[in-house]
Amino acid sequence: MRTARTTLTALTLIAALGSIAQADTIRATSGFGPAHVLATDIYPEINARLKEFTGDAWDLSDTPSGLVAPQEMSAGLRDGVTEMGTLLLPYFPADYPNAALPSELSFLGSSNAVVSAAVTEYVATCPECQAEFARNGQVYLGTDVTPVYNLLTVRPIRSAADVRGMRIRTGAPLYAAFVEKLGGVAVQMPSSELFESLSQRVIDGTFSGDHEIIANRLGDVVKYVTEVNEGVFNGSTSGAVSATLWTRLDPETRSALARATQYGISKGLGAFMRDAAKAREVAGVEFIPMDDTLRSAKEAFNADYLANVASTLQARGVKDAQAKVDRYRALVEKWEKLITPDMTTEAMGQLRYDEIFAKLDTATYGNP
C-alpha cells in the first residue's frame, strides 16, 4: 500500500511539474537565415523578454529560414503557417500603400534607432495602416531598420558614371529609382539570394547596408563598397503577428508581446551597427568614399524625390498624402530628441513601449 501510495504521489508531482513548466510557444520565422541579426539578436531577445514579462507562460521559437520565404511572408502569416515573422512591406506595395509610406522617406533621420521608432509609432497609430494589416490577417508590432545604405559591388564604383549598365539589387522603390536615375538596372530579390546571385554574376551589386556582408557572408563576392550613405531600409516589419495568434492572447499577454518586441528590435538596431562595423574588417573589401559626382547626383535625386513624394503616394492610393508625409516627418523630429547615442537596449525598448504601445488599448488594438 505504501509503495502504491508513494508511486501515485510521485506521478502526481511529475504531472504537476510538467504542467507548471509547459509554456505556450509562438512559432516565429525571422526569415533571413541563421547569421542575420533577426535570428542572432532580435528574435532571441523577443523570446527572452516574452518569457520574463509573462512569467514563463509564453515563449517564442524561431525558424530562421526554410519555413516561409520573405516573398511569401504575408500569406504565411495570414494563413497561420507561421505566427510571427518579418514582413517586408515594399515587397507587397498593393497591400500596404499606407504602411509603406515611410519607405518612400528612408533618407530622413540621423540614425536607424530614430527611424525605427518613428516608423513604429507612425504605423501603430495610423488607422489606414492598421486596416491594411487587418485585411491581410496580421497585427503590427514594430519595424527594425538597417544601417545606412551603400553600393556593395563586384567591381568598383568611383563616380556616378560607373553605375551605368550595372545590375543592382534594390529593396525598395526609392533605391530602384536612384539606381535607374544613374543609368543602372534595378533588380528586386530577397537578401537571402544575394550570395548566389553575386557569385554567378546575375547581378553586379546590391544597394544594402554594410551589415549584409556579415549577415549573408558576402565577403567572398563583394569586393567594393561605395559609401553613398543613401538613408536606411525602414520597410522591415519584424514585429508582424498573425491575427489568428493575436485573437488567442488576453490583453496582458498582448502587452507583454508588444513590449518584448520593442526590446528585441532595440537590441537588433545595435546589432546591425555592430555587423556594419565588422564588415570593415573583412579582408579583400575596399571601401570607396563618395566622390563629388555621386554626391551631386544623390542630393539632386533626394530633393526631387521629396518634392514629388506626395504625388507618388497619392497615385498609389494614399489619401491626404502630404499630411501623412508631414506627420511622419514630425515623428522623426520627435524621436531625434528622445533617443540619445548612449541609450541602452533596455532603456530604448522601454521608451518605445511607453511612448507607443503602452498608450494603446491592447484589448482592442489589432482586432479586425
What's the full length of the chain, in residues?
Answer: 368
- Answer yes or no: do 51 and 118 share one domain: yes
In a domain? residue 247 = yes
Q: Which residues of 240-254 are buried (b: 16+ CB within 10 A; e: fewer)?
A: bbbbebbeebeeebb
- Answer yes or no: do 237 and 328 share one domain: yes
Give the model's pLDDT for residue 354.
98
The 10s digit of each residue's pLDDT in 111-163 is 999 999 999 999 999 999 999 999 999 999 999 999 999 999 999 999 999 99
Q: Exposed (0-12), middle (13-18) or buried (19+): which is 177, by Cβ within 10 Å? A: middle
- Answer yes or no: do 118 and 51 share one domain: yes
Spell out the per-residue pLDDT of the chain, length 368, in tens.
445 454 445 444 444 444 455 789 999 999 998 999 999 999 999 999 999 999 999 999 999 988 899 999 999 999 999 999 999 999 899 999 999 999 999 999 989 999 999 999 999 999 999 999 999 999 999 999 999 999 999 999 999 999 999 999 998 889 999 999 999 999 988 887 899 999 999 999 999 999 999 998 999 999 999 999 999 999 999 999 999 999 999 999 999 999 999 999 999 999 999 999 999 999 999 999 999 999 999 999 999 999 999 999 999 999 999 999 999 999 999 999 999 999 999 999 999 999 999 999 999 999 98
Give the model's pLDDT for residue 21.
56
- Answer yes or no: do 222 and 161 share one domain: yes
Give the model's pLDDT for residue 11.
47
- Answer yes or no: do 87 and 154 share one domain: no
Give the model's pLDDT for residue 26.
98
Give the model's pLDDT for residue 191.
81
- Answer yes or no: do 114 and 249 share one domain: yes
- Domain assignment of residue 176, given as a range: 149-231+282-302
Which CATH number fits the domain that encloses residue 159? 3.40.190.10
Q: What is the DSSP string of 59-111?
A: EEEE--SSSS-GGGHHHHHHTTS-SEEEEEGGG-TTT-TTTTGGGGGTT-SSS
182 vs 161: CA distance, rounded Å: 7
- Answer yes or no: do 207 and 337 share one domain: no
- Answer yes or no: do 114 and 256 share one domain: yes
- Answer yes or no: do 190 and 134 share one domain: no
Q: Which residues of 327-360 are buried (b: 16+ CB within 10 A; e: fewer)?
A: ebbebbeebbeebeeeeebeebbbbbbebbbeee
- Answer yes or no: do 113 and 238 share one domain: yes
In a domain? residue 18 = no
